[in-house]
Structure 1
Amino acid sequence: MIKSTLSVFFALSFIGVSAQQVILKSESTPMGGSMNTVTPEVAKPAENTLKPFEPKQFESLGQGVIELDHDVVYVGKAAPSGVNIYHLPLFGGYHKSIQQIEDDEAFLADCDKNFDTREKGSLFFSDMGWQYLSEGSKEMATYRFNLAHLLNQKNIDVYWGLGVIEYQQGHYEEAIKLMTQGIETDEKFNVTLMVDLATVHIKCFTENQHPSDLKRAFKILDDAKLLAPNFANTYMQLALANLVNGEIDQAWLQFHKGYKIDPNAVDTQILTQLLNQKPDPQGVFE
């Protein structure tokens, strides 16, 4: 029930809750590596100009979302008895009961009294979601991201955060769906989110060997490189994509490009894999 927690939420809003944004390259994720600062968002080009990034992997069909290349299907229906949809990403795609709809309306009404805009309220709850996620509380984080979504469906942190949660649980295809939705929802290109999405595609390729995943990873990373040429993480993930594709020399080249931009962005797991395949051609790493 939402109503019982509102007083706690709004009490915290006056204390202030800072969020450490957990992205895929944090130490808490399977890929490893160091936390990196989120790059500035890049404004999307006008509609009549060429868009370098066009992720259209998913199609909406009625009330469900069906992925074209993977067997992930969401259908709008009532949740099974005992399932708390507020602990499922985007409410699990289930229809809400009359009581849940009334609770949502009461929640929104209280937020309207406590925040200048619903957008600000959404950011507050998504910040709480990142904070809970940084502490390892995935269920609590999901709940907060869902509340943020109620307030503003264009808040990309909702899709990003829920995507990270799915990724950390090994649900790579669902992470792809959520992060793709976040990129398509945003009015700007968030390069870090793009790189995270590419990272999930690479991981999904290593698990399931879908060629389309690696192809999309390269496309997204190439677009990210065009949008933010000095973002070191892009080159680190390009090195990984080349590595899993058997292109060892190209992987070393991309790795050194990222290292030159920011030595602190070196992904030690990728470095170890590279060294296991071939000594560093430049002799920098041993």
Structure 2
Amino acid sequence: MDEIPMYGGQDRSEPALKAADEKLIADATSSFGSPARAAQAWVEQGFRFYQADKLGMATRRFNQAWLMNPENAEVYTGFAAVLHDQGKYCDAMKMMEKALSLKPPSFQGIYADAGRIAARCAAADKTLSGPERAAMIARSDALYRNGEAVEPNKAYLYNSWATAYYWNGQYADAWTMVFKARRAGGNSSPQFLRMLGEKMPQPAQP
């Protein structure tokens, strides 16, 4: 359960678990000064484990941060990152929606990350109905447009947007975003360009 986001919905009111959680919170508050500061420290540790591809340990830290401060948006982006790497794209998207509902800073690429996860959810989840898939694709596009409004001419956003279009078969739109990324001073990965080129040869750049 420690390696499942939010402990898999486990009832934490069971006496032994409740006592352990209360001790964790008390010890963390003593060490960091407040539960919120402890949560932020553990979020940062969680992302370090995530970058090292230690997804189980990353989730443990994100869970501890969640216990400390369930209103920390970065906790949910952490859960989303782990779920994304596990191929659980729609579950990851639910976490991103929770993060966005907490009004996190909008200048750290969160809209692009959420847009890409929404696109992967639409492309990968075969249980979605046609209208559900279309709604998820529309959500992806809206998130990217929000990101573009906040941070125009960001190569990271356009490269991410290109991959979102790719996963849902919108190859001409993907090339448009590749060109926008280049104009913004960025470069798409050679592997992605090969994959996109196999689906649709590169058109003339406008």
TM-score by length of 1: 0.64
Does structure 1 residue 202 correspond to structure 2 residue 119? yes
User: Offset at 1:160?
Assistant: 0.8
Structure 1 residues without counterparts, runs of 5 or longer: 1-84
Q: Distance in 2 between matches of 1:190 and 1:181?
A: 17
Query: Which residue is equivalent to 2:129?
Result: none
Query: Which residue is equivalent to 1:23?
Result: none
Which SS does the other structure have where 2:47 is aligned? helix
* 1:122 partner letter: A
Structure 2 residues without counterparts, runs of 5 or longer: 127-132
Query: Which residue is equivalent to 2:6?
Result: 90
The structure 1 segments of at least 4 consecutive aligned residues displaced by more than 6 Å after TM superposition are none
> For each residue in 1:198-246, what CA deviation from the matched residue of structure 2 results, as whole angstroms up to 9, or x when unmatched?
1111112222362222111111111111111032122123323444555
1:267 counterpart (189, 192, 201)? 189
Number of aligned residue pairs: give it.
198
**Greater strand proportion:** 1
The 5-angstrom pairing of residues 52-63 of structure 1 reads none
Query: Which residue is equivalent to 1:170?
Result: 87
Cα distance, 1:245–1:176 mapped onto 2, change above 3 Å: closer
User: Offset at 1:136?
Assistant: 2.0
**RMSD of aligned Cα (Å):** 2.1
Q: Distance in 2 between matches of 1:244 and 1:158?
A: 26
Q: Distance in 1 between matches of 2:69 and 2:97?
A: 17
Query: Which residue is equivalent to 1:239?
Result: 162
Query: Which residue is equivalent to 1:78?
Result: none
Which SS does the other structure have where 1:272 is aligned? helix
The 5-angstrom pairing of residues 150-229 of structure 1 reads 150-208=67-125, 210-229=133-152
User: Offset at 1:129?
Assistant: 0.9
* 2:205 partner letter: Q
**Greater helix proportion:** 2
Q: Distance in 2 between matches of 1:118 and 1:255?
A: 43
* 2:174 partner letter: A
TM-score by length of 2: 0.86
Whether the 8 Å CA contact 1:252–1:281 is kept in 2: the answer is: no
Whether the 8 Å CA contact 1:195–1:221 is kept in 2: the answer is: yes
The 5-angstrom pairing of residues 1-286 of structure 1 reads 85-96=1-12, 97-208=14-125, 210-244=133-167, 246-264=169-187, 266-276=188-198, 277-282=200-205
- The structure that has the greater radius of gyration is 1
Higher relative contact order (Cα pairs below 8 Å, separated by 6+ residues): 1
Whether the 8 Å CA contact 1:236–1:255 is kept in 2: the answer is: yes
